[in-house]
Protein backbone atom coordinates (compact mmCIF):
# COMPACT_ATOMS: atom_id res chain seq x y z
CA UNK A 1 0.00 0.00 0.00
CA UNK A 2 2.83 2.40 0.84
CA UNK A 3 4.51 1.82 -2.54
CA UNK A 4 1.20 2.53 -4.30
CA UNK A 5 0.84 5.83 -2.42
CA UNK A 6 4.37 6.80 -3.44
CA UNK A 7 3.63 6.15 -7.11
CA UNK A 8 0.41 8.18 -6.89
CA UNK A 9 2.16 11.06 -5.12
CA UNK A 10 5.12 11.18 -7.52
CA UNK A 11 2.89 11.01 -10.60
CA UNK A 12 0.62 13.72 -9.23
CA UNK A 13 3.58 15.94 -8.28
CA UNK A 14 5.02 15.68 -11.80
CA UNK A 15 1.63 16.60 -13.28
CA UNK A 16 1.27 19.54 -10.89
CA UNK A 17 4.65 20.91 -12.03
CA UNK A 18 3.77 20.35 -15.68
CA UNK A 19 0.46 22.24 -15.36
CA UNK A 20 1.93 25.02 -13.22
CA UNK A 21 5.71 25.40 -13.76
CA UNK A 22 5.97 28.08 -11.05
CA UNK A 23 5.65 25.34 -8.40
CA UNK A 24 8.94 24.03 -7.08
CA UNK A 25 9.53 20.29 -6.85
CA UNK A 26 9.20 20.52 -3.07
CA UNK A 27 5.90 22.40 -3.20
CA UNK A 28 4.47 20.01 -5.79
CA UNK A 29 5.42 17.01 -3.64
CA UNK A 30 3.88 18.59 -0.54
CA UNK A 31 0.61 19.23 -2.35
CA UNK A 32 0.60 15.74 -3.89
CA UNK A 33 1.23 13.99 -0.56
CA UNK A 34 -1.48 16.07 1.10
CA UNK A 35 -3.99 14.98 -1.54
CA UNK A 36 -2.93 11.32 -1.49
CA UNK A 37 -3.01 11.06 2.31
CA UNK A 38 -6.00 13.26 3.15
CA UNK A 39 -8.35 12.71 0.22
CA UNK A 40 -11.88 11.88 1.36
CA UNK A 41 -12.74 10.44 -2.03
CA UNK A 42 -11.24 7.60 -3.97
CA UNK A 43 -8.55 8.77 -6.35
CA UNK A 44 -7.37 6.65 -9.24
CA UNK A 45 -4.37 6.27 -11.50
CA UNK A 46 -5.69 6.29 -15.04
CA UNK A 47 -3.65 4.90 -17.90
CA UNK A 48 -5.17 5.77 -21.26
CA UNK A 49 -4.27 6.10 -24.92
CA UNK A 50 -4.53 9.43 -26.73
CA UNK A 51 -5.75 9.71 -30.31
CA UNK A 52 -2.16 10.00 -31.55
CA UNK A 53 -1.29 6.66 -29.91
CA UNK A 54 0.71 7.94 -26.92
CA UNK A 55 -0.05 6.35 -23.56
CA UNK A 56 -0.56 8.72 -20.58
CA UNK A 57 -0.88 8.24 -16.82
CA UNK A 58 -2.85 10.71 -14.73
CA UNK A 59 -4.10 10.87 -11.16
CA UNK A 60 -7.83 11.42 -11.50
CA UNK A 61 -11.11 11.43 -9.65
CA UNK A 62 -13.92 9.36 -11.07
CA UNK A 63 -16.42 11.71 -9.44
CA UNK A 64 -15.92 14.35 -12.13
CA UNK A 65 -19.18 16.19 -11.39
CA UNK A 66 -17.64 17.65 -8.20
CA UNK A 67 -14.95 19.39 -10.26
CA UNK A 68 -17.08 20.55 -13.17
CA UNK A 69 -20.79 20.66 -12.34
CA UNK A 70 -23.10 20.02 -15.24
CA UNK A 71 -25.26 22.85 -16.51
CA UNK A 72 -28.46 22.61 -18.50
CA UNK A 73 -30.03 19.35 -19.56
CA UNK A 74 -27.06 18.16 -21.57
CA UNK A 75 -27.12 15.18 -23.84
CA UNK A 76 -26.53 11.54 -22.97
CA UNK A 77 -22.95 10.30 -22.84
CA UNK A 78 -22.03 7.99 -25.73
CA UNK A 79 -21.60 4.32 -24.90
CA UNK A 80 -18.01 3.46 -23.97
CA UNK A 81 -16.98 7.05 -23.14
CA UNK A 82 -15.34 7.42 -19.72
CA UNK A 83 -15.17 10.77 -17.92
CA UNK A 84 -12.62 11.69 -15.25
CA UNK A 85 -11.44 14.86 -13.49
CA UNK A 86 -7.68 15.44 -13.78
CA UNK A 87 -6.69 16.57 -10.28
CA UNK A 88 -3.46 18.33 -11.36
CA UNK A 89 -5.28 20.42 -13.98
CA UNK A 90 -7.93 21.34 -11.43
CA UNK A 91 -5.27 22.47 -8.93
CA UNK A 92 -3.64 24.59 -11.63
CA UNK A 93 -6.93 26.44 -12.09
CA UNK A 94 -7.63 24.99 -15.51
CA UNK A 95 -11.37 25.12 -16.25
CA UNK A 96 -10.99 22.23 -18.68
CA UNK A 97 -9.99 19.58 -16.16
CA UNK A 98 -12.28 16.84 -17.48
CA UNK A 99 -10.66 13.99 -19.38
CA UNK A 100 -12.85 11.94 -21.69
CA UNK A 101 -11.51 8.80 -23.28
CA UNK A 102 -12.68 5.66 -25.00
CA UNK A 103 -9.31 3.92 -24.74
CA UNK A 104 -8.80 3.14 -21.04
CA UNK A 105 -5.79 0.88 -20.57
CA UNK A 106 -5.88 0.52 -16.78
CA UNK A 107 -7.50 2.09 -13.70
CA UNK A 108 -5.79 1.56 -10.35
CA UNK A 109 -7.75 2.87 -7.37
CA UNK A 110 -6.28 4.12 -4.12
CA UNK A 111 -8.75 3.65 -1.28
CA UNK A 112 -9.43 6.70 0.86
Q: Name the residue with higher pLDDT: 70 or 61.
A: 61
Asked if the model's pLDDT at residue 111 lies above 70, the reply is no
Average pLDDT of span 62-83: 77
Could you read off the pLDDT of 75-103 as tens digits, one per residue?
777 888 888 888 888 888 877 888 788 87
Q: How far is it, in rounded angstroms, from Cα 37 to Cα 34?
A: 5
Would you state the pLDDT for residue 94? Answer: 79
Could you read off the pLDDT of 6-52 as tens digits, one per residue?
888 899 999 999 888 888 999 999 999 988 888 777 788 888 888 78
Would you state the pLDDT for residue 26? Answer: 92
Question: What are the angstrom distances between the C-alpha of 47 and each of 8, 24, 26, 80?
Answer: 12, 25, 25, 16
Q: Which of 36, 13, 37, 38 is nearest to 26 (CA)?
A: 13
Domain count, the chain: 1
* Range(s) of the domain holding residue 75: 2-110
Would you state the pLDDT for residue 95? Answer: 77
Asked if the model's pLDDT at residue 1 lies above 60, the reply is no
Amino acid sequence: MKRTKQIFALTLAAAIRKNNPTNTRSTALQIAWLIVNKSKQTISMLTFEKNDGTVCRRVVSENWAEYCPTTGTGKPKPAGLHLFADIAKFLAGNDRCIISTYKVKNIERLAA
